[in-house]
Structure 1
Amino acid sequence: MEKIRWGVLSTANIGRTQVIPAICRADNAEIIAIASRTDKVHAAALELEIPKAYESYEELLDDPEVDAVYIPLPNHLHKEWVIRSARKGKHILCEKPIALNRAESEEMIAVCREHGVKLMEAFMYQLHPQHARVKEIIASGEIGEIKLMKSSHSFYLQNRSTDIRMDAARGGGSIYDLGCYSIQAIRHITESEPVTVLAQGEMDPEKGVDLTDLVHMTMDSGVQALFDCSFDMTARNEYEVVGTAGSIKVPFAFRPDINGHIGTVVIQKGGVTREEKIEGDIYRLEIEHFSNAILTDSAPVITADSTSKNMRVIDACYESLKTGKKLVMQSDNQFIPV
């Protein structure tokens, strides 16, 4: 089987512990290079059994054998290195959130299109088959008409004095780090976009980043949506879809890998509960899906349009958080406070 040859920009923890091992597990991919800005990259390459180690990102991008790159750099560097990678003809899997705002994301998407390379935001959770099963149950009518979707994603953040997620200048904050998943899941599962957004939250007074957020959205389908995200709560990664006849709960929505790669879909209807277990290696599925998109010249399931729309909602959340106002979403990317 033909394989996509991957390079990774940085020795970030998520790359070393999750994505690079997933590339090694994938049937249609192989890892051939890793880059960092220090000589520590050589130890990382040795540990991970990666053939090539570069002490600069530019050197890796100049390697003609690299077909695609994975970018787990800090959020504020995504735009620069996606654009540089695209200009070198590399296909790109970029960590979420793909940018700091919608304008950045659209510039990145435009450059990728100009250079004929594929770009996918790394919402690995969506590749797990439990979500397709949720949509299948909804489409069957089993739980009736959907009225509400709720999503929660949190963990208690340690070492706040040094963690990059507490650095506002580098794209820190709970909505950027966690809320982006719930926004994407709500849009994906309900197949609709928000028409109003109201966000409330708690800010760290010294760091200037949001620690906890509660967001209400009215979707254009009429569904009401709520999500919370936090660096100040116990670990949760779940959503619930409530219909007129029943409900669906997904307790390991965003991180089924911490449950042995087993997703759980709990259907409640008429006082009866049914539980379905669904297996899926999310990081491997992500790598295999994007590698296949490159090999077959097909569109990734997480499209550029979806990525841009997700950033639009993130922009609205932060604007509402700043102003304290409910915002009405406009088609020209503007928000009207009400």
Structure 2
Amino acid sequence: MNEFQPVRLGILGAGRIVVDTVLPMLAGLSAFELVGIGTSFPESVPLHLKNMLHESYEAVISDKSCDALYIATSNNLHYELAMEALRSGKHVLCEKPIATEVEHCVELYRTALEANVILDEGFMYRHAKYWGNLTDSISGGGLIGELEFIDVNFHHRVFRKNDIRFRKDKGGGCLLDVGCYCFDVVHKIAKNPCTILSSRIWKNEAGVEYYAHVTFEAGKITGRITCGYDRELEQGLLLQGSHGTVHVDYPFINQQRGVCLSLTSNSGIKRIRLEPDNAYLTEFKEFYRRIHGSEVIGNHNSEWNIAAICQLTD
């Protein structure tokens, strides 16, 4: 494969993100050629793509015309499908969490290295434009001094009681859903694993958590995470340093709203408004670039994220 050829992509899963965001995006992205879709809900696939349907997930993975896979199934299937794909020599972009056990995360990255294929975890927010501005404000002591405290939250409403996110057997619960984003951004910034200091977890009658309030330490940094299905969309990231603060109003989902960074320091208050950008598009372009590059394993916090969540759910 040379860099001028599109990557032939198979997709596993046909949920809302795939149907509403990824499939329309791929239609205008020449870097990828869609060659197959595997899903347990074939009725969700748009009519003009029905010819891409395979009879099973395994049929897509074993398709010799497929170079890479995007996995967006329920959380409980991520490890199994990603492992099968890697062992088949396929590059993998898997939605978060890449697995629900620390040992499985380690096994996946080890297998990718042994097979010399790309394995990426799908945290699309990492590819949003605001990260450059945020990094400039905190790196090397930056404009806010030494980072001391991180406060991050991510909430949205889940209305249907039979929603897959309320099914324990499918890897449901707010911690593996929105909480995973919160821990990932903490680990990305703190560059140290979280140790849980205190927690309050609310669960429904099925034993699935729908709200979590957590305090933690990561190296010299302390902080707080709240996440859940208890309110309409709400998200935020506050970084408190020795000389100031940075606040990001929509750190995770911002394709419609854009992002506002508010920087408070000894120099006063500065606000940076960034227009909406498609982080999914940038994520797939980066996946393509890495497939044609030499870096098999990129920066990831998978083991740290799951280890922190396991401290709360075990």
TM-score, structure 1 normalization: 0.85
Matches within 5 A, 1:34-49: 34-37=37-40, 40=43, 44=45, 46-47=47-48, 49=49
Return the match for 2:234 from 213, 231, 236.
236
Cα RMSD (Å) of the superposition? 2.0
Counterpart residue number, 2:152:
151
Distance 2:201 2:189 in 1: 25
The unaligned stretches of length 5 or more in structure 2 are none
TM-score, structure 2 normalization: 0.91
Q: Is the 8 A contact 2:166 2:173 kept in 1?
A: yes
Shift of 1:197: 3.9
SS in structure 2 opposite 1:183?
helix
Shift of 1:97: 1.2
Counterpart residue number, 1:187:
187
- 1:217 alignment partner AA: F
Q: Is the 8 A contact 1:147 1:242 kept in 2?
A: yes
- 1:250 alignment partner AA: V
Counterpart residue number, 1:164:
164
Distance 1:312 1:172 in 2: 17
Distance 1:39 1:164 in 2: 17
Distance 1:38 1:233 in 2: 28
Counterpart residue number, 2:302:
307
Shift of 1:39: 5.2
Q: Is the 8 A contact 2:187 2:304 kept in 1?
A: no
The 4+ residue runs of structure 1 with deviation greater than 6 A are: none
Shift in CA distance, 271/317, structure 1 to aligned 2, threshold 3 Å: farther
Distance 2:123 2:146 in 1: 27
Matches within 5 A, 1:15-34: 15-34=18-37
Counterpart residue number, 2:272:
276
SS in structure 2 opposite 1:297?
coil
Matches within 5 A, 1:113-262: 113-139=113-139, 141-160=142-161, 162-204=162-204, 206-220=205-219, 222-259=220-257, 262=258
Shift of 1:269: 2.5
Q: Is the 8 A contact 1:214 1:227 kept in 2?
A: yes
Shift in CA distance, 97/223, structure 1 to aligned 2, threshold 3 Å: same
Shift of 1:181: 0.3
- 2:190 alignment partner AA: T
Shift of 1:40: 3.3
Distance 1:39 1:210 in 2: 29
Shift of 1:156: 1.6
